[in-house]
């Protein structure tokens, strides 16, 4: 730790916060911040519910004040973190948040940034328990330590991070806008290709009807009681997850393995070359095709894996159809009541209607579509890499900030390089 800095636990530097029971005041109204109120993209409280005390949910118990920092202890690595604004002073949040109200030795904004640090997040990942809804306890958060310099130095660090993160947000938004533009071009291209032929002769199938005939051709994998984090090993049989379907194409990401012995119990969840993977937890709706060179691997509960009857449907056609065809998008939107990514599950995917040309026509469509993808791939890749670089820059700046090495010149240069 840098000379002149201190290190204390949150338990030592936080003021005691209050709990309330809104039901004791049945006719009084208050603004309620539940766990879904905080965006893990903007790190702000995006919306609240205005409710009466008599209608308050049982978790509406924590009084919040302006400049408190709230941290969601349910799925903590999702980073639902926000600073309470003035207009929510003396309102109520869920017990799913830990409320941080610092003593005078630490600024609330400095503490806010610390919650995003790699060290703090890694501790949360280690401590979280539970398969479906991993969480940490208030006591576990309180026991975490935070390094901090003088208030003057804290203010300098915060000012630099504020400016840098604003620049990163703008650059990231521009890159995401470019990606959206590329996606719109690709979507319009696929629709155009499928409209070239006379679709009146194309049958309407479902994903269930175009899957292979063997049992389990549409499946989710094991998790929870069947596969615990503690059962992962350093090498062995690969376990595929959400991160293998990033950017709607298959990529090797975080390495997770199980033993050969465990695989013998779970081999019915094996993925095969050409299987179509759709994410149904976390960031839902990503889609990828398992490559031909995949080693023996299984998928987790976070993925729906589809083995197709290739005499009826090609994996590449279903992949593009799921992502871009208006019939698929309209069905998903209707089922999820306007939020396409909110309601995905295996049953919904099985019922998805598929307008199905012949395999010969699918080949023509896919070949033309691949040419379009190739034309846009370079620009798409540039913007994807830019977003990754900007996220890496955020981590780097936080590391520099909390090690006492953050300077204006380093920040400006790094931001310029990442935004190129």
And the tokens for 366? 């896919």
Write down the pLDDT at residue 354. 94
End position of a domain, from candidates 321, 356, 391 = 356
CATH number, domain of 300, equals: 3.90.220.20
Q: How far apart are CA 320 and CA 90, in angstroms?
A: 49
Write down the pLDDT at residue 272. 95
> Please, are residues 314 and 256 in contact by the beta-carbon 8 Å criterion?
no
Do 281 and 329 lie in a common domain? yes
For residue 366, being part of any structural domain is answered with: no
Do 256 and 138 lie in a common domain? no
Per-residue pLDDT of 371-406, as tens digits, reads 998 888 888 889 989 999 999 999 999 999 999 988
For residue 197, being part of any structural domain is answered with: no
Percent of the chain clearing pLDDT 90 (strictly above): 66
Write down the pLDDT at residue 50. 95
From the first residue on, what is the mean pLDDT of each consecutive set of 10 residues in the chain (420 residues)?
A: 89 96 94 94 93 95 97 95 97 97 96 96 94 90 96 96 93 92 88 72 92 91 63 88 86 85 91 94 85 92 93 96 90 60 76 93 93 88 91 93 83 55
Write down the pLDDT at residue 338. 40
Write down the pLDDT at residue 113. 97
Q: How far apart are CA 263 and CA 398, in angstroms?
A: 40
And the tokens for 164? 């840098």
Do 101 and 157 lie in a common domain? no
Write down the pLDDT at residue 177. 93
Do 154 and 64 lie in a common domain? no
Write down the pLDDT at residue 339. 44
Do 158 and 140 lie in a common domain? no
Write down the pLDDT at residue 288. 94
DSSP code, position 15: P
287-289/276-279 β-pairing: antiparallel
For residue 21, being part of any structural domain is answered with: yes
Do 207 and 333 lie in a common domain? yes
Do 141 and 154 lie in a common domain? no
For residue 275, being part of any structural domain is answered with: yes
Instruction: State the virtual CA torsion across 204, 207, 213, 219 in degrees, nearest 10.
Output: -170
For residue 16, being part of any structural domain is answered with: yes
DSSP 305-321: EE-B-TTT--HHHHHHH
29-33/49-52 β-pairing: antiparallel
Write down the pLDDT at residue 126. 94
- Alpha carbon 281 to its chain centroid, in Å, reads 9
Do 209 and 303 lie in a common domain? yes
Neighbours of 348 (CB within 10 A): 16
Do 223 and 332 lie in a common domain? yes
Write down the pLDDT at residue 419. 54
Question: Taking Cα atoms as reference points, which of 87, 96, 13, 97 lies closest to residue 47?
Answer: 87
The number of domains in the chain is 3
Claim: this prediction has a pTM higher than 0.75? no
For residue 42, being part of any structural domain is answered with: yes
Do 215 and 349 lie in a common domain? yes
And the tokens for 160? 């630099």
For residue 234, being part of any structural domain is answered with: yes
Q: How far apart are CA 407 and CA 418, in angstroms?
A: 17
Do 211 and 343 lie in a common domain? yes
Do 20 and 139 lie in a common domain? yes
Write down the pLDDT at residue 340. 44
Three-state SS string over the chain comes to CCCCCEEEEHHHHECCCCECCHHHCCCCEEEEECHHHECCCCCCECCCEEEEHHHCCCCEEEEECCCCEEEECECHHHCCEEECCHHHCCEEEECCEEEECECCCCCHHHHHHHCCCHHHHHHHHHHCECCCCCECCHHHHHCCEEEECCHHHHHHHHHHHHHHHHHHHHHHHHHHHHHHHHHHHHHHHHHHHHHCCCHHHCCEEEHHHHECCCCCCEEECCCCCCCCHHHCECCCEEEECHHHHHHHCCCCCCCCEECHHHHHHHHHHECCCCCEEEECCCCCCCEEECCCCCCCEEECCCEEEECECCCCCCHHHHHHHHHHCHHHHHHHHHHCCCCHHHCCCHHHHHHCEEECCCHHHHHHHHHHHHHHHHHHHHHHHHHHHHHHHHHHHHHHHHHHHHCCCCCHHHHHHHHHHHCC
For residue 351, being part of any structural domain is answered with: yes
> Please, are residues 257 and 234 in contact by the beta-carbon 8 Å criterion?
yes
DSSP code, position 85: P
Angle made by CA atoms 39, 91, 103, in degrees to the nearest 5:
85
Q: How far apart are CA 393 and CA 380, in angstroms?
A: 20
> Please, are residues 383 and 182 in contact by the beta-carbon 8 Å criterion?
yes
Domain that holds residue 174: 149-188+373-420
Q: Quickly count helices (H) and strands (E) in the chain.
A: 12, 18
């Amino acid at each position: 730790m840098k000379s002149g800095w201190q290190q204390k636990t949150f338990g030592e530097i936080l003021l005691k916060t209050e709990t309330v029971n809104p039901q004791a005041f049945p006719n009084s109204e208050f603004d309620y911040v539940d766990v879904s109120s905080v965006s893990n993209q903007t790190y702000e409280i995006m919306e609240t519910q205005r409710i009466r005390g008599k209608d308050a949910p049982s978790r509406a118990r924590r009084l919040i004040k302006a400049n408190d920092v709230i941290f969601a202890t349910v799925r903590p690595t999702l980073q639902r973190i926000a600073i309470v604004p003035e207009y929510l002073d003396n309102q109520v949040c869920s017990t799913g948040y830990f409320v941080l109200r610092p003593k005078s030795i630490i600024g609330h904004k400095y503490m806010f940034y610390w919650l995003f640090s790699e060290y703090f997040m890694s501790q949360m990942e280690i401590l979280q328990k539970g398969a479906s809804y991993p969480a940490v306890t208030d006591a576990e958060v309180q026991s975490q330590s935070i390094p901090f310099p003088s208030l003057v130095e804290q203010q300098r660090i915060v000012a630099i991070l504020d400016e840098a993160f604003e620049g990163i947000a703008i650059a990231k938004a521009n890159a995401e806008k470019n990606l959206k533009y590329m996606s719109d071009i690709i979507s319009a291209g696929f629709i155009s290709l499928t409209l070239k032929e006379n679709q009146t002769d194309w049958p309407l199938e479902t994903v269930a009807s175009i899957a292979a005939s063997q049992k389990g051709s549409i499946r989710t994998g094991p998790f929870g009681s069947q596969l615990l984090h503690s059962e992962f090993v350093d090498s062995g049989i690969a376990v595929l997850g959400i991160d293998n379907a990033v950017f709607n194409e298959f990529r090797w990401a975080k390495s997770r393995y199980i033993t050969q012995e465990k695989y013998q119990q779970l081999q019915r969840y094996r993925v095969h070359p050409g299987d179509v993977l759709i994410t149904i937890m976390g960031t839902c709706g990503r889609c990828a095709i398992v490559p031909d060179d995949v080693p023996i691997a299984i998928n987790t509960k976070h993925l729906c894996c589809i083995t197709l009857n290739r005499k009826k449907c090609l994996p590449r056609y279903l992949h593009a159809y799921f992502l871009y065809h208006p019939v698929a998008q309209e069905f998903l939107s209707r089922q999820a009541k306007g939020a396409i990514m909110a309601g995905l599950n295996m049953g919904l995917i099985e019922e998805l209607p598929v307008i199905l040309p012949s395999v010969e026509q699918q080949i023509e469509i896919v070949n033309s579509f691949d040419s379009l993808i190739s034309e846009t791939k370079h620009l798409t890749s540039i913007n994807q890499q830019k977003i990754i670089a900007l996220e890496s820059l955020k981590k780097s700046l936080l590391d520099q900030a909390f090690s006492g090495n953050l300077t204006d010149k380093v920040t400006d240069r790094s931001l310029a390089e990442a935004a190129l």
